Amino acid sequence: MSSHPQTPPKNRPHTRPVARTRRVTAPQITDRKGGEPIVCLTAYDAPTAEIIDPHCDLILVGDSVGMVVHGLPSTVGVTMDMMIMHGQAVMRGSRTAMVVVDLPFGSYEGRPETAFASASRVMMETGCQAVKIESGSYAAETIDYLVERGIPVMSHVGLRPQSMHVLGGFRARGRTQKVADEILQNAEAAAKAGSFAVVVEGVSAEIAERVTKAVDIPTIGIGASQNCDGQILVTPDMLGLFPRVPKFVHKYGQQRDQIDAAVRQYAEDVKARAFPKPENLYVFKD
């Protein structure tokens, strides 16, 4: 028997039932403001997305993929094609969590029309439910433009990795009153412009509390304390894939050690001719 599915007869509809699921939506995330904390993680591939999907309200296909998957020194070198490829993979692996894809550096900071072209391409080619942009003082007009045209936007304030060359590296933000006020103003502008949520990264608990109280949309913290309405981490960081992680990361797993032990055992078995074992072999019967 052929392993390929048979082609349905002509003029006859395909009747195989299609599984339908309902994903979390942008308004549902916004409605969680001040309620049950919102659970978010990053994913860049289908298997990871499938594992974390039942536990997450929102999965972010972050431009952190450039650093944790592709080995780039920062997120600045991430391209649209990279984000779309990884976004497609995450959409294939997930079923119910809202999927948000980062717009990469250089794809949205200019004219709002340019941002719309980038965002609409990402949504059309991945099927994701929203995009995320890093929100400087320029962002309000762009957010309003995108939302007005049907594109949900998650904003990002505080430590903004795409601006690391201006900020002087990956450093916590808000050490001076001026910078703290700027972070608050950016968050307020993003919320007023129509963002459904805002990521707050690398700030003190006091600043996170100020922002959370000031805006009527959920704040999603990463290195920003329990004062936020939800939390997000880079999944490979929290699984312990890397020996060094930011201070705000708690390693919920020791993936690096587990992979090392498994590969070491495999190498030893191959050298000792202990693998493959009899149960791993094909046996053809007459």
> 228-263 burial, b for 16+ CB within 10 Å, e for fewer?
bbbbbbbbbbbbbbeeebeebbeeeeebeeeeeeee
Confidence category of residue 8, pLDDT binned at 50, 70, 90 = very low
Number of domains in the chain: 1
Confidence category of residue 176, pLDDT binned at 50, 70, 90 = confident
Catalytic residue among 201, 209, 268, 279: 201
Give yes or no for residue 163 having a pLDDT over 70. no
Judge whether 33 is annotated as a binding position.
no
- Tell me the residue type at 253: G
- Looking at residue 21, what is its pLDDT? 65
Residue 218 belongs to domain spanning? 26-253
Weakest mean pLDDT among 8-17, 70-79, 84-93? 8-17
Closest CA to 141 of 219, 195, 212, 98: 195
The shares of helix, strand and coil residues in the chain, as percent rounded to the nearest 5, are 40, 15, 45
Give yes or no for residue 16 having a pLDDT over 90. no
- Per the CB < 8 A criterion, the answer to whether 231 and 208 are in contact is no
**pLDDT single digits (tens) 94-119:** 999 999 999 999 999 999 999 999 99
Strand, coil or helix: 77: coil
Judge whether 132 is annotated as a binding position.
yes
Judge whether 63 is annotated as a binding position.
yes
Q: What is the mean pLDDT of residues 140-148?
A: 97
Beta strands in 36-178 (DSSP E): 38-42, 58-61, 98-102, 130-132, 153-158
Closest CA to 129 of 153, 105, 111: 153
- Looking at residue 9, what is its pLDDT? 42
Judge whether 134 is annotated as a binding position.
yes
Number of other CB atoms surrounding residue 34 within 10 Å:
10
- Looking at residue 17, what is its pLDDT? 41
Residue 143 sits in a domain of what CATH number?
3.20.20.60
**pLDDT single digits (tens) 118-142:** 999 999 999 999 999 988 777 999 9
Give yes or no for residue 6 having a pLDDT over 60. no
Distances from the Cα of 80 to the Cα of 22, 37, 121, 170, 239, angstroms? 27, 31, 9, 23, 27
Write the DSSP symbol of residue 203. Answer: -
Judge whether 247 is annotated as a binding position.
no
- Looking at residue 285, what is its pLDDT? 87
Give yes or no for residue 3 having a pLDDT over 60. no
Q: What percent of the chain has pLDDT over 70?
A: 87
- Per the CB < 8 A criterion, the answer to whether 230 and 212 are in contact is no
Give yes or no for residue 152 having a pLDDT over 90. yes
- Tell me the residue type at 44: Y
206 is catalytic: no
> In the predicted model, what is the mean pLDDT of the chain?
90
Structure tokens at 266: 């495999």
**pLDDT single digits (tens) 227-281:** 999 999 999 999 999 999 989 999 999 999 999 999 999 999 999 999 999 999 9
